[in-house]
Amino acid sequence: MDEPTVPIASVRLRLSGRQVLRLNELWATDRLERKAIIGVCGSTSAYGAPGIDFVASVHAVSDMLIELDKGPTNEARDWLAREQKRYPLLPIIFHRGGEQENRQAIQLLENLVKSSNRLGLIVNIEPTGNMSGFIIRKGESQAVDTIIVAGSDIIIWSGDTACSTNTNALTLRLEQSFGSKTSRMLSSLRVGVVGVSGTGSPVAEMLYRLGVAEITLVDDDRIEEKNLGRIYNSSVRDAEERRLKVDVIGDAFMRNGLPPRIRKIAKKTYDPEVIRQLAQCDIIFGCMDTHAGRLLLNKLCTFYTIPYFDLGVKLEADGQGSVSAVCGVVHYLQPDGSSLLSRKAINLATIEAEDLRRTDPDRYEQLKQEKYIKGAQEDRPAVITVNTMIASMAMNDFLARLHTYRNNPNAEVGSLSINLREPLFMTEEDGEPDEGMLRWVGLGDITPILAMPSLA
């Protein structure tokens, strides 16, 4: 990102859990202070009234320790040049120490980056593991407002929440259960909910009642009579007027007058502007039916280092009162962990069919009739009790990663699933990283966006 012409209103930094482990491993080999580790970040930004909301996401960390008082080595310069050859990545320097080390890190950054119009970041990692940082542009520094680690635990360091001691009626009960720290973390988060029907409607409702800072609702669909049994806050009049789902839910929230800010996006996710707005979210909940849409969100959260909760419900009925399947699953996906594809939660054949239906519906119908493709399921039965249960599972998993209250460590829980016919409640671990996704971790904005020519 080049030097912005308007002020930066906020700066947020994101790392993956595995990247933090890598940093700790490197420092474990040399206990001496005054050492730095360089890395590179992707970035994205959005323009608001106060200025730019700037987000940096770590893409790669070098495997070398640099002595702060001696400046960069040729090896460090070569590593940075290789990383910046293909994408416009920003340098980031991690170090341990105080003000003197900060000044030396700034000097190191200036020696690494020749152009005065480039940005760079400095991060200080304390012995406790806490992180703080600042962004440098033209020799001037500005504090990083929030640092989020998207690992099996979701770790947040925020200057605003660390200083806040405000308690209100909305968060009082939450603080009594999970403590004021968790409540303060929630009050700093921008959360995206993509798909606001069956599971998305109760997810949005719970996020709103938990007091997150901002909720971005994304759905281009309209209320129909068949939706009334499963979408919170919807009415017969909404169905008659064919109101947008995001308007029905968002307007109900705004009428209630509670603190969370509401952003409504009545567009499809296959829109570059929607991708950029979702990239500003700190957490994303995917409540979509299609395999293609779920893969898109998985990829988005990889590019921008966002913790991603994917919700799915399967209810199979014959319309005569016989039910053959009532189950649901919540996948938690780390940016550099396994993916929905590697977990076999979605498959490429269905994605291809759905993409064809979206881009060329006539051709899709022709091939479907000729039996060349298996039809993508166009409508699914839904029951509000099952949807709300899966939404609650997702929200409790989210809270467990902010406030580690489970007996088992979060690293052992990659997905939660329930089968109501048995009944059974099961968990599965994350699994091996998806090698095909790893190259995209933390790249942020590139051309074409998400490396998808269809979004160019």
Average the pLDDT over 374-393 and give the result.
76
Number of helices followed by number of strands (H, E) in the chain: 15, 18
* Cross-strand partners of 118: 2
Q: How confident is the model at residue 165 (pLDDT cuts 50, 70, 90)?
A: very low
Specify the pLDDT at position 199: 94
Cβ neighbour number for residue 225 with a 10 Å cutoff: 11
What confidence category does residue 115 fall into, taking pLDDT thresholds of 50, 70 and 90? low
Percent of the chain with pLDDT over 90: 61
How much is the pLDDT for 164? 37
Phi/psi-derived region of residue 319, left when phi > 0, alpha when psi is between -120 and 50, beta in every other case: left
Tens digit of pLDDT for each residue in 154-163? 999 987 543 3
pLDDT at 167 over 50: no
Whole-Å CA distances, 375 to 58, 330, 355, 364, 371:
39, 25, 11, 8, 9
Report the pLDDT averaged over residues 132-152.
91
Using 50, 70 and 90 to split pLDDT, how confident is the model at 357?
A: confident
- Structure confidence at residue 11 (pLDDT): 94
Pick the most confident of 6-15, 31-40, 312-321.
6-15
Tell me the domains of the chain and their CATH numbers: 8-144 (3.40.140), 164-455 (3.40.50.720)
Q: Is the pLDDT of residue 32 over 60?
A: no
Indicate whether 125 pLDDT > 50. Answer: yes
Of the two residues 392 and 359, the one the predictor is more confident about is 392
Mean pLDDT of the chain: 87
Region of 321 please: left (phi>0), alpha (psi -120 to 50) or beta. left
pTM of the model: 0.91
pLDDT in tens, 76-109: 999 999 999 989 899 999 998 888 888 889 888 8
- Higher-pLDDT residue of 108, 376: 108
Identify the pLDDT of residue 162. Answer: 39
Predicted confidence band at 184 (pLDDT cuts at 50, 70, 90)?
Answer: confident
Instruction: Give the sheet arrangement for strand 214-218, strand by strand.
Output: 261-265, 214-218, 190-194, 283-286, 308-317, 323-333, 415-419, 424-428
For residue 116, the model assigns a pLDDT of 52
Contact 239, 228 (CB under 8 A): yes
Q: What is the mean pLDDT of residues 317-344?
A: 87
